[in-house]
Amino acid sequence: MTGQPYWNPVLETLPQEKLKQLQFKKFKRIFIWAYGHSKFHKDLYDKAGITPDHIKSFEDIQKIPKVEKSMMRDIQNKDPFPYGDALCVPLEEVSAFRQTSGTTGQPVYQPDTWQDWEWWSECWSFILWAQGYRPRDRVFVPFGYNIFVAFWAGHYAAEKLGCEVVPGGVLDTQARILKIQELQATAMMATPTYVLRMADVARHQMGIDPATLAINKITCAGEPGAGITSTKKRMEEAFGAKVYDHSGATEIGAWSYECTDQPHGMHVNEAMFLVEIEDIKTGRIIEEPGKKGKMVITALDRIAQPCIRFDSKDVIQWDSEPCSCGRTFRLIKGGVIGRADDITKVKGVLLSPAAIEEVVRSIDGLGDEFEVIVDKQGDVDRIKLKVELMPGTSKAAVENVLKDQLRLKTNLGYRIEYYDYGHLQRYEIKAKRFKDLRKK
Ligand SMILES: [Zn+2]
């Protein structure tokens, strides 16, 4: 078992045509389930004049109304308390509560049954196996084990694979690093922000070179950093480890993963999820590679609070090439590129914060932290970038290359403020580096 490359050799190499048949069969099953067990879903579909009988072909799926996050917020705290009527199982079958992080508004509650948790860890098993986790690995999980789903299912999946799992729970960053060192842990899971934070603390507060730790692979989630080339490079160099991207969400599940071939993109687990990419302007479903749109996703097996054609706002694009690893699951090129919400217009130019991150992290002499602030002076947009200079680096040494690269990659001019190393805010989980003051 350990020598074989796939967690599920049948599903992960199924020809696309067969995968599509499987997705259609599963989609119909979850749609009938939700229609029959939740007032929220039945009302939504009845209003659109769609019943399970109308879904006769794969193309019919596109006619089904999407579910927006705001709809899920509206039903919270209603009967059955606290989830509302999207719940498809009796309350006594719910075995786990989680909630979304609330970065884009009031948190949404997420109920799961025990079967759903089995499903979560199965999805994560695809991820970890594809990233080279094997039973001999000792996996350190440095996160707070709380109401946020984060790496909970990753923990269970690592156990399912037969790895040895060390829960890093309430330990502070220094204690976590000491434990990793003491136990010679070989793998860990964290947000890109926290991976860089750990490297920073090890180096500058503890005098430990993180590359001397036994960590040889890191699974990232929660932020796009592992899909941003310069950020990934910083993480890989700091720990002397492979860094793999993964994207998932509380209300969706663990739907994608990068494999050890590192194709600069992520596989969509097409046996467990149906991913559609929708043109942001026209609403058309994009099948062709290389065209960006927002993801509409269905979790094909999740039962307590189903996720059917959920409008995730993640901006993605299909890759044109199959992956060299042999998996038939399609790749999304460059991972999650951004969020439809985040991509905002500044001085009439579309700006993605990820593009600024790519530039800042590609320049030696600049620290990992940065901050972007957009505001208005009169009618004119202004954009300010705060960066840190590493000890021994002068402003003159980086100024020109930073300005040029920003202009080249984002088509915008910035007011740049330079700070000494250690002066910008540090984050433990997800960073808030982009502030748009124009909205207030
Ligand atoms: Zn692959």
Which tokens hold the place of 206? 């503890």
Cα 207 to middle of ligand 1, angstroms: 37
Q: What is the pLDDT of residue 169?
A: 93
Judge whether 1-337 and 344-439 match in fold: no
Q: What is the pLDDT of residue 226?
A: 83
Which tokens hold the place of 399? 């100024």
Cα 258 to middle of ligand 1, angstroms: 7
Cα 231 to middle of ligand 1, angstroms: 21
Cα 257 to middle of ligand 1, angstroms: 9
Cα 313 to middle of ligand 1, angstroms: 24
> Which residues of the chain fall below pLDDT 70?
1, 103-104, 342-343, 440
Residues in the chain: 440
Which tokens hold the place of 440? 């207030």
Q: What is the pLDDT of residue 354?
A: 82
Residue range 1-337 forms a domain whose CATH class is alpha beta
Q: What is the pLDDT of residue 417?
A: 96
Candidates 417, 386, 119; CA nearest to 269 is: 119
Cα 152 to middle of ligand 1, angstroms: 24
Domain residue limits, the chain: 1-337, 344-439
Q: What is the pLDDT of residue 104?
A: 66
Cα 233 to middle of ligand 1, angstroms: 19
CA distance 243 to 234: 10
Q: What is the pLDDT of residue 105?
A: 73
**Which residues have their alpha-adjacent CB atom under 5 A from ion ligand 1?**
259, 261, 323, 325, 327
Q: What is the pLDDT of residue 337?
A: 85
Residue 164 burial (CB count, 10 A): 15
Q: What is the pLDDT of residue 370?
A: 94
Cα 23 to middle of ligand 1, angstroms: 20
Candidates 160, 75, 57, 174; CA nearest to 118 is: 160
Cα 14 to middle of ligand 1, angstroms: 14
Q: What is the pLDDT of residue 353?
A: 82
Cα 333 to middle of ligand 1, angstroms: 12
Tokens 């719910």 — which residue?
Answer: 94
Candidates 317, 336, 323; CA nearest to 278 is: 317
Q: What is the pLDDT of residue 440?
A: 58
Which tokens hold the place of 67? 């579910």
Cα 426 to middle of ligand 1, angstroms: 34
32-70 pLDDT, tens digit each: 999 999 999 999 999 999 999 999 999 999 999 999 999
Q: How far is CA 292 from CA 107, 109, 275, 279, in A?
A: 27, 30, 13, 7
CA distance 222 to 226: 10
CA distance 17 to 29: 19
Q: What is the pLDDT of residue 332?
A: 97
Domain spanning 344-439: which superfamily? ANL, C-terminal domain (3.30.300.30)
Cα 372 to middle of ligand 1, angstroms: 34
Element (H, E) at 190: strand 187-190
